[in-house]
A and B are shown apart, each in its own frame.
Chain A
Amino acid sequence: MTAAGLVGVAALEARGVVVRRGGRAVVDRVDLAVHAGTVTALVGPNGAGKSTLLSVLAGDVRPDAGEVVVDGRPLGDWKSGDLARTRAMLPQEHRVAFGFRVAEVVELGRAPWRGRPEEDHDETVVLEAMASTDVGHLAARTFPTLSGGEKARTALARTRAQATRIVLLDEPTAALDVGHQEAIMEQVRQEAAEGDAVVVVLHDLSLAAAYADRVVVLDEGRVRADGPPAQALDADLLSAVYRHPLDVLPHPHTGALLIVPRRSQVSSEVLP
């Protein structure tokens, strides 16, 4: 999986990116090259700079130093329309003003393709995007009436409908139940298998271990570990970064990595 990533120009690259907020570097000299066909997970504690880094990669936040390069061209050289056909971004918050229907919200993802040959496939792409995120049955519902998880899936469907080669997802699984978390991450893997470059911010370390080719552990704006899950998700490093003891265990049957916080130490140590 990772071997494919080593070939060719990086789809998306951060070079020495620094973002300062209130005199503090929230992203501190981060280098990150993301290749087509891979899933890169950004993990780390609250305030580690994951979302800020993703915003820099998306072009929402201009870095105080360093640059972001998309397909070998600096972000600033891109026209907004071309960029919108190249990278999609799922924000953390999902708000839609007015009572747009789910299908209409997802269709908005096709806006960058208006007036191009790809526009002919709009309906197919939108239906596929809705099916893959399990919002098809909600198509005629209005967005404000949806639950948090349904909103998140609708927003994800919109980024899928945008049909871009680079996909940035800020906590796509945050509001989802376990079944939908797995289904969505399966979809993310599928997108990467089709050649997309995916960067995803995750809080669930086991999800990152299961679905990412590469895990980048951020803490206080810096990259603390970067590599395949088995290498980057080291128990000592994670315990230090999260300021809480964590165990990294192989699943007894599948061998998949499970990251578990150590709990009830008091009761097991104090009680006889």
Chain B
Amino acid sequence: MSAPPTPRTAPIPAPAPSIARNTPAALPRRRGVGLLLVVLGVGLVALALIAAGRGQLAIAPAEVLGSVLDRIGLGGIGGLPATPEHPSGEVALWSIRFPRVAMAALVGASLAAAGALMQGVFGNPLAEPSVVGVSAGAAVAAAAAIVTGVEAFGPWTVAVAAFLGGLVTTLLVYALSRYEGRTEVVTLLLTGIAVNAVCSGLLALLMFLGDTQSREQIVFWQLGSLNGTRWVYVAAVAPAAIVGLLGAVALARRLDLLALGDRSARHLGVNPERTRILIIVLVALLTAAAVSFAGIIGFVGLIVPHLVRMLVGPSHRVLVIASALGGAVLLVLADLVARTAVAYADLPIGMLTALVGGPVFFWLLRRARAQAGAWA
């Protein structure tokens, strides 16, 4: 012990007042979650009925609804006609329009959910399958399957190839862009540029190698389109999309814990690495479901989750469900525009989403930058 001090300290203060300030009586809840889900769900159904009626052969929404009700055994309700007035209406609806609307919904839901999952895994709101090159990786593998004419999995070959390509690319991006357990925005985007560059080079090579028919198919992919969708394609995409979406909802809560960082997630009972790998497989599955028949449709997985987060916050369970619904709405709408904006022309839907999504992406970058701490 050292020499005693000269007692010049102030007299003992009164006991410190309780420092705690007004704590709310109940936890603040995000409002509007239920409302958003209902609006998106009802909006999707209504939009699907409207979209199915539009095109060169116009069918009134009431007729579309009547036809649907008739098919599901509820014909004649509310005096709706069982079949559209136009003689070709029924065929147009059920063999062309509905498969296409269904495919748009599935692809949109898959892309938006994949975006939400990917952002959760990377802890970064700018991660998205097309931005980081996963869509391109899936397309390269699918194109390779076409050009080489491999048929290892029969009619599923292209889809399986897209899945494997997406999986490999996602793992690659994940491995390349993480540094000391986190992914910086700049690293992620630069990795995306590199991966996209390599993939477009490989696609060019495959186009060079392929015959005219496969070349056309690859071009079709790069633009992204739902033109020519048939029920068989919907049936091929649906299982992957549905499994992916259900898995996404099941794992979503763990992503909230991952947002705390790996250590804290582990302390709360989650295995971060295992969770990440599972989610990456789901992302690849969903991306493959979207890409294998519709081609590269960019930015859906970026815009939709972002809007949802702005409305109801970042909790991943709500985010994944609302994003899937929102993505379906967005793509059904985008496809409606793609095939009706110009008479007798079917615009590539990927072109549309890129034209709208690019500027939105730019706006997001600016906004994220302005709010320091909201990313990185």
Contacts and interface: CB of A to CB of B under 8 A. Distances in A.
B27 interface: yes
Interface in B13-38: 16, 19-28, 30
Contact of B2 (A108, A145, A235, A254): A235
B117 to A, nearest CB: 13
B268 A254 contact: no
B264 interface: yes
Nearest to B271: A80
A139 B1 contact: no
Contacts of A93: 261
B2 A248 contact: yes
Contacts, number: 136
A235 B3 CA distance: 11
Interface in B309-356: 309, 313-315
Given A80-B269, A88-B267, A253-B12, A104 B313 contact: yes
Nearest to B26: A123
A84 B269 contact: yes
A180 B257 CA distance: 27
B153 to A, nearest CB: 37
A83 interface: yes
A206 interface: no
A104 B264 CA distance: 15
A145 B373 contact: yes
B259 A134 contact: no
Interface stretch (A37-45, A62-70, A94-102, A190-198): A94-102
Given A81-B269, A99-B314, A235-B1, A253 B11 contact: yes
Given A99-B309, A101-B28, A101-B313, 19 more contacts: A58-B267, A83-B269, A84-B269, A89-B263, A89-B264, A98-B125, A98-B259, A99-B314, A100-B313, A108-B268, A111-B270, A127-B25, A131-B20, A134-B21, A144-B373, A162-B267, A179-B19, A183-B20, A250-B4
Interface in A94-126: 95-101, 103-105, 107-109, 111-112, 114, 123, 126
Interface of A: 58-60, 80-81, 83-85, 87-89, 91, 93, 95-101, 103-105, 107-109, 111-112, 114, 123, 126-127, 130-132, 134, 136-137, 139-140, 144-145, 158, 162, 179-180, 182-183, 235, 247-254
B28 A249 contact: no
Contacts of B373: 144-145
**Looking at chain B's contact residues, is the secondary structure mostly helix, strand, loop, or mixed?**
loop
B7 interface: yes
Contacts of A59: 266
A104 B29 CA distance: 9
Contacts of B213: none
A134 B371 CA distance: 25
Given A97-B123, A127-B23, A252 B5 contact: yes
A126 B27 contact: yes
14 contacts: A96-B260, A104-B313, A105-B260, A108-B260, A111-B256, A111-B257, A123-B27, A132-B20, A137-B23, A145-B373, A179-B16, A248-B1, A251-B9, A254-B12
Contact of A136 (B16, B24, B124, B125): B24
A130 B16 CA distance: 19
A200 to B, nearest CB: 16
A134 B20 contact: yes
A177 to B, nearest CB: 10
A80 B266 contact: yes
Nearest to B256: A108
A100 B258 CA distance: 12
